[in-house]
Structures are given as structure tokens and as C-alpha cells.
Amino acid sequence: MTATLSPAAVDRVKDMVARAGALIFDVDGTLAETEEVHRRAFNDAFAQAGLNWCWSRVVYRELLRVAGGKERIRAFDAMRPSGASLSNGRIAELHSIKTARYVELVAAGGCALRPGVEALLATAQERGQRLAIATTTSRDNVEALLSVALGPDWACRFEAIVAGDEVARKKPAPDVYFDVLAKLALPASDCIAIEDSGNGLMAASRAGIPALITRSMYFCDDDFSGALLTVDELTEIV
Ligand code: XBP
Ligand code: MG
């Protein structure tokens, strides 16, 4: 399914995107379909740590309702019949093994940007729009992904970058979006958030930022009521 509005309404949203002072991008699922790489990194970390855990796509889809890798591990641990048994220290250790593995996987094979992302970034910059990133994942993961996908100078293109390990509360809390707005010194109404998940839409909406949704592999069935527009790919609005 492509845009969920009439052609005239889609054009109005395209115009809003073109006139926004800044475009604020989510990372996982929005810039690139990274969650299968995350899932593999989690499973490789569990194997390396001697845990007989292996998250299938079905299990991971459920766990993705929990934002944040450490929080996801904790949620899975708590769901087990014997109940939670991992300490916070052990969870942090597992997550750092996972992050190192994710960085390795992305550096080795990369994870391509989704269709339309590079064109939208370039068009926005040509229009003089400011770019930012608001993500739940860690800065290390953003660096690994975008240094391959956009080149070593990728960060110069984004005036504000706020990652999940830099705020008190992850999405659906608005913390990363509030921090981006403060760094940009722009009102929420002059920005557009580009997201792929219900948690991301809620985080942007709670910060007062209008949001555009690009459907992704794991969140295509989420409820995106309140979004400006829901598209299958960003090529539909470039
Ligand atoms: C997606 C997330 C992250 C990733 C895993 O972030 O919820 O938790 O799934 O990365 P977003 P970490 O869509 O906001 O970019 O293990 O580093 O959390
Ligand atoms: Mg996302």
C-alpha cells in the first residue's frame, strides 16, 4: 500500500516536508532496514556468552515493542518460566558484546540505506534544510551504519545527533526529540520527524513534532494514526 491520503493531500504533505526548517530522522527501520542485523547480533552475542537463547523473527517482532537493546534483553529474561535471572551488570555486558558484533556485521557487509533516503537527504540539503537524527540505538551503531552508507564524513550532514544511550528515557518517551529541538533551536512545528514505528511516532508526537511514517519490515502493522502520511518508501515523497 502506498500513501494513505488522496493525491492532493499527499502533495500538501510533500510541500510541508519541503518547507520544514529541519528533517529529523529515526535510524533503525527508517534510514536502513537494520533490525535483521540487530537480531543476528543479539543471537551471536547470546551464543558467545554461552546462553542457549536464539530470537526468531516471530519472537523478535514481539520484543521490538520494547525500545532499547538492554531493555529488550531484560524483558526476554523476565518472560522466561524461571523468571528473571540476569543482573543489570550481566545484561550490560551482553549488550556490549551485541553492539560490538552489530558494528562488525555492518562494517563487513554494510546495511544499505532504504530507497529514497539518500535522495531525500541530498534534496533537503540543496533546499537549505537542516538535518538531524533522533534514535533509540547507540551512537556507536549510528556511526557504524552511516560511516559505511554515507561515507566517513557522514556526521557533517547532521546538525544534531541524539542517540538512545544519551537520554534518560528511550522512545516512546520524547527525550531524544526534545534534545534535538534544543540543539537546533527550532520550534517543533518547524520540523518534520521521519519514523518507522509506533513507538517512534509516539515519541515525535509527544515532542509536538509532525511525523511522516515509512513502513518497515517489523512495524508495518503498527497503528500510525496521527501521522502526516504513511508511505511504503521515501521515494514516494522525494
Ligand atoms: C530501534 C531500537 C533499537 C534497536 C537496537 O531504534 O529500538 O533498540 O532495535 O539497538 P530506532 P540497540 O528505530 O529509534 O533507531 O541494541 O543499540 O538498542
Ligand atoms: Mg526505527
Q: Is the CB of 129 under 6 A from ligand 1?
A: no
Calpha distance 140→91 (Å, rounded): 18
CA of 72 to the centre of ligand 1 (A): 10
Calpha distance 136→8 (Å, rounded): 34
Output the residue whose Cα is nearest ligand 1's atom 7: 67
Q: Is the CB of 198 under 6 A from ligand 1?
A: no
Environment class of residue 12 by beta-carbon count within 10 Å: exposed (0-12), middle (13-18) or buried (19+)? middle
CA of 82 to the centre of ligand 2 (A): 31
What pLDDT is stored for residue 47 in this prediction? 98
Output the residue whose Cα is nearest ligand 1's atom 13: 28
Ligand located closest to 142 CA: 1
What pLDDT is stored for residue 166 in this prediction? 97
Q: Which amino acid is at 17?
A: V
List CB contacts of 180: < 8 A, sequence separation 6 or more: 24, 132, 133, 134, 160, 162
Q: 225 vs 150, 193, 198, 228, CA distance in Å?
A: 32, 15, 9, 9
Maximum distance among all Cα pairs of the chain, rounded to whole angstroms: 56
What pLDDT is stored for residue 1 in this prediction? 42
User: For residue 176, which atom of ligand 1 is closest to its CA?
Assistant: 14
Indicate yes or no: pTM above 0.85.
yes
What residue spans of the chain are helical by DSSP H?
A: 7-19, 35-48, 57-63, 69-79, 88-109, 117-126, 139-149, 175-184, 198-206
Q: Which amino acid is at 66?
A: V
Output the residue whose Cα is nearest ligand 1's atom 4: 137
User: For residue 35, which atom of ligand 1 is closest to its CA?
Assistant: 9
CA of 3 to the centre of ligand 1 (A): 25
Q: Is the CB of 200 under 6 A from ligand 1?
A: yes
Calpha distance 144→77 (Å, rounded): 28
CA of 205 to the centre of ligand 2 (A): 14
User: For residue 197, which atom of ligand 1 is closest to its CA?
Assistant: 13
Calpha distance 11→229 (Å, rounded): 10
Q: Is the CB of 216 under 6 A from ligand 1?
A: no
What pLDDT is stored for residue 4 in this prediction? 59
Q: What amino acid positions are annotated as catalytic residues?
A: 26, 28
Ligand located closest to 36 CA: 1
User: For residue 98, which atom of ligand 1 is closest to its CA?
Assistant: 16
> What is the residue-level pLDDT of the chain in tens, covering all 238 positions?
444 578 898 999 999 999 999 999 999 999 999 999 999 999 999 999 999 999 999 999 999 999 999 999 999 999 998 888 999 999 999 999 999 999 999 999 879 999 999 999 999 999 999 999 999 999 999 999 999 999 999 999 999 999 999 999 999 999 999 999 999 999 999 999 999 999 999 999 999 999 999 999 999 999 999 999 999 999 999 9
Q: Is the CB of 28 under 6 A from ligand 1?
A: yes
